[in-house]
Amino acid sequence: MSSENSTAGRNWATTMMVLALLGLVVAAFGLIPPYWSTFFAPGGRADGPGTRQDAAPPVPSWTAAPRPDGEAAAPAPTGNDAPTAPEARQDPPASDGPEGGRADAPAEGGRADGPAEGGRAQDEPDAPDDTGARAPEHSGPLNVSIDMGSRGRIGPGTYRRGATPGANTEVYDRTGRIDTGCYVRWELTRAGTVVRTHTSERCRPPSITLFNFGDSLDEVGSYRLTADVTTDWGQQGTASVGFTVVAGD
């Protein structure tokens, strides 16, 4: 009976020792993982538990954390913790330039963006000389002549009654013969009486006769045709030609 009790006691003690060892093993496996990375984590990782992190700079005791609504969080600190405010620096008064004038004004009456002594800020280019390209100016006296037509002419300065010779002008100045910008006032008289007048808008006919007689030569007698010329350049000139109209055959 006593041997059985001793055997049961040994079995119980053995069982309790096994259970205690199992408890230690379980406890060891529970504690190892949290500290494993601390002692065995790779040194290159910055975010591992084994990497040493720099401590955040201490926050002064007087610094107030910003409030979400943007209002002032706390009154200004006092005592030794309050920072010393820098001395207020006053800007010098704005200079108005030399001798009381504006800073951007010239020193002696020149333009603001020009030289100090009133010169031009930039030399402007001279206008191109187009004298050679311009047409020569009309000036001087006019040389005017009348060119009578040959229709109905039967001799020097003589025309048959009813003839219609027609007449044109030739007008010259120092630049040459004038075409446009030149005007002719015609006047035909017979024995001092005005028979016909006409005004031409140019002095050189393009393809027509400037002065047409019409039926002005239906009567015999002495005639005179006068051409008074003016130009757009203020020039004036005149010419006249006399002829005779006879009955003829």
pLDDT, tens digit, for every residue of 100-125?
Answer: 445 454 445 445 454 445 445 455 55
Question: Domain of 238: which CATH number?
Answer: 2.60.40.1930
Considering the domain boundaries, does residue 118 fall inside one?
Answer: no
CB 115 within 8 A of CB 109: no
pLDDT at position 28 is: 72
Task: Examine the pLDDT at 132 and tell me if it is beyond 50.
Answer: no
pLDDT greater at residue 196 or residue 134: 196
Chain-centre distance for alpha carbon 70:
49
pLDDT greater at residue 169 or residue 62: 169
Considering the domain boundaries, does residue 187 fall inside one?
Answer: yes
Q: Per residue in 29-46, pLDDT tens?
A: 766 666 555 555 555 444
Task: Examine the pLDDT at 231 and tell me if it is beyond 80.
Answer: yes
Considering the domain boundaries, does residue 20 fall inside one?
Answer: yes
- Residue 248: is it exposed, middle or buried by C-beta count within 10 angstroms (0-12/13-18/19+)? middle
Considering the domain boundaries, does residue 174 fall inside one?
Answer: yes
Residue 3's domain comprises: 1-40
pTM for this model (two decimals): 0.47
Considering the domain boundaries, does residue 239 fall inside one?
Answer: yes
Considering the domain boundaries, does residue 52 fall inside one?
Answer: no
pLDDT at position 133 is: 45
Q: What angle do CA 120, 126, 130 make, to 5 degrees?
A: 165
Reported residue count of the chain is 249
- Starting at the earlier edge strand, list the strands of the sheet with 221-231: 153-155, 158-160, 236-246, 221-231, 182-190, 193-200
pLDDT at position 237 is: 96
Considering the domain boundaries, does residue 54 fall inside one?
Answer: no
Count of the separate structural domains present in the chain: 2
Considering the domain boundaries, does residue 204 fall inside one?
Answer: yes
